[in-house]
Amino acid sequence: MPRHSVAALIEALATRIREGHLPPGTQLPTHRQLAARHGLALASASKIYARLGEMGLVIGETGRGTFVRDHARQRDWDSSDEARLNASALDLSFNHPDHPEQAALLRAMLRELAAAGDPASLLRQPPPGGRMRERASVSAFLAQARNIEASPERIFLVNGAQQGLYIAAAALLAPHDRLAADALTYPGLRMLAAAQHLEVMPIPSLPDGPDLATLDRLCRQHRVGMIHAMPTLHNPLGWVLSHTQRLQLVDIARRHDCWLLEDAAYAYLEARPPPALASLAPERTIHVSSLSKSLASGLRFGFMVVPDRCATRIRATIRAACWSLPGIVSAMAVRWLDSGTVLRQETDLRNEWSKRQALARNILDGMDMTAHPAAPFLWLRLPEGLRMDRIATALATRNIAVSKAEAYATTHHAPHALRLALASMPFEKLGPALSEVRATIEAFPPQ
């Protein structure tokens, strides 16, 4: 068959996948079947599937066949046009903690659950906040892995950390209450504040953490109901607050009677952090984390550690919002916690992200970047006079997606910077993508 016909078939299959005519999970013909159907040589059929794989549209599984991949074409949580990805884009805008054993782990776990004594029980509705034995597993994990002592009665299971943050704010704040948050912070916090009609009070950033003197002044001048903090591996700036800074933050919260909302989504990446806020101020800290950043982004298994005095309100809010997370999800998650799988995966990811950070530091050497040495992201400030939207748009034309600083800013004006996620593409593609980012920035004259 002529060379252009192979290219035409690649394009036709790619179009059918992108337009949804071949939905995610569809099993495609075998290489031999594809070759026979279109009069191709077997090598040509293999080349077609290899190219579709490079485009991120299909995945081959040994012994099973070739399947259409599940790949989101648009992330409507991100306001930037650059997040509208086609399947072949090099994604520096979002992190997925993928690892080679993920599919095998899932298959083994599903077999384990199917062989359990009463698999039908997984289809019954768990109580709000999770079953007590599952909350006890999280309690044991937190004591072992995070040095946080919390009884199962103070732990609630939720559908990911984002829901945990949302529930904490909904349970403890009223519309138009003030929520203090870093001037650059996790975008999901801005979304929940807007949805709940909360007033966000930006805390300026210093090189090593939030400006606590300014936070203290804000709390003196205004009635601040809650302080959102990421003391252990801040997103997007990567800082880890010292023990002294944490004690100062706790002192501010106590003197002004504020709740502390501790966002620990990436805390596992700091091997030996100072004590968590939940340990320093258990009477006013709501600690929120999940397995989305360490095991699988789609698992949606999160947990909250809450003070005794607000446990009833938290449970009632969970019940009103979602009742509970699916029983099969919590059953899988706690088995992975109990078996040590999560701890092993966290260690592996610390090593992997450290390798990627080292690569990024080498390629972006001399540029104004900030990052934790084990984080799967970095913060890249642009040269004076260079606009982030121009760079993001130019990178999008080169099929590279990045996140602009405006998605992270709680202030009216965002700095001209980019957040680059390092975890969503194969390692061998990361270096060329980062090199293209550097070349694109250096090619632009400031304006």
Q: Give tens-digit pLDDT for 45-66.
A: 899 998 888 777 888 766 678 8
75: Cβ contacts below 8 Å, ≥ 6 apart? 83, 84, 85, 93, 94
90-110: b (≥16 Cβ within 10 Å) or e: bbbbbbbbeeeeeeebeeebe
Average pLDDT, integer, range 233-239: 97
What pLDDT score was predicted for residue 85?
A: 52
**In this model, does residue 129 exceed pLDDT 70?**
yes
What letter does residue 444 receive in the DSSP assignment?
Answer: S
Task: Return the biggest CA–CA distance within the chain.
Answer: 78
CA-nearest of 398, 368, 387 to 444 is 387
Residue 81 pLDDT class (50, 70, 90 cuts): very low
Residue 84 pLDDT class (50, 70, 90 cuts): very low
What pLDDT score was predicted for residue 88?
A: 65
Q: Count of alpha carbons within 13 Å of 441, Cβ hemisphere only?
A: 23
Q: Both tokens of residue 437?
A: 């980012």
Tell me which amino acid residue 180 is.
A
Q: Both tokens of residue 132?
A: 């007590």
Mean pLDDT of all residues belonging to the chain: 91
Average pLDDT, integer, range 299-323: 96
> Would you give the distance in Å from CA 170 to the centre of its chain?
22
Residue 319 pLDDT class (50, 70, 90 cuts): very high
**In this model, does residue 82 exceed pLDDT 70?**
no
Average pLDDT, integer, range 74-96: 60
Residue 296 pLDDT class (50, 70, 90 cuts): confident
What pLDDT score was predicted for residue 78?
A: 44
User: What stretches of 270-339 show up as alpha helix (H) in DSSP?
Assistant: 277-280, 311-321, 327-338
Tell me which amino acid residue 125 is.
Q
**In this model, does residue 436 exceed pLDDT 50?**
yes
What pLDDT score was predicted for residue 437?
A: 97
Higher pLDDT among residues 303 and 42, named by residue: 303
Whole-prediction pTM: 0.83
What letter does residue 143 receive in the DSSP assignment?
Answer: I
Q: What is the per-residue pLDDT across 388-428, written as a single tens digit (0 to 9) for each? A: 988 999 999 999 999 999 999 999 889 999 999 999 889 99
What pLDDT score was predicted for residue 446?
A: 67
What pLDDT score was predicted for residue 387?
A: 87
Strand order in the sheet with 90-92: 90-92, 400-404, 417-421, 377-381, 368-370
Higher pLDDT among residues 357 and 1, named by residue: 357
Strands 259-263 and 224-229: parallel
Higher pLDDT among residues 139 and 85, named by residue: 139
CA distance 232 to 397: 35
Cα(first)–Cα(last) distance of the chain, in Å? 52
> Would you give the distance in Å from CA 37 to the centre of its chain?
42
How many CB atoms within 10 Å of residue 59?
16
Q: What is the per-residue pLDDT across 166-220, written as a single tens digit (0 to 9) for each? A: 999 999 999 999 999 999 999 999 999 999 999 999 999 999 999 999 999 999 9
What pLDDT score was predicted for residue 86?
A: 58
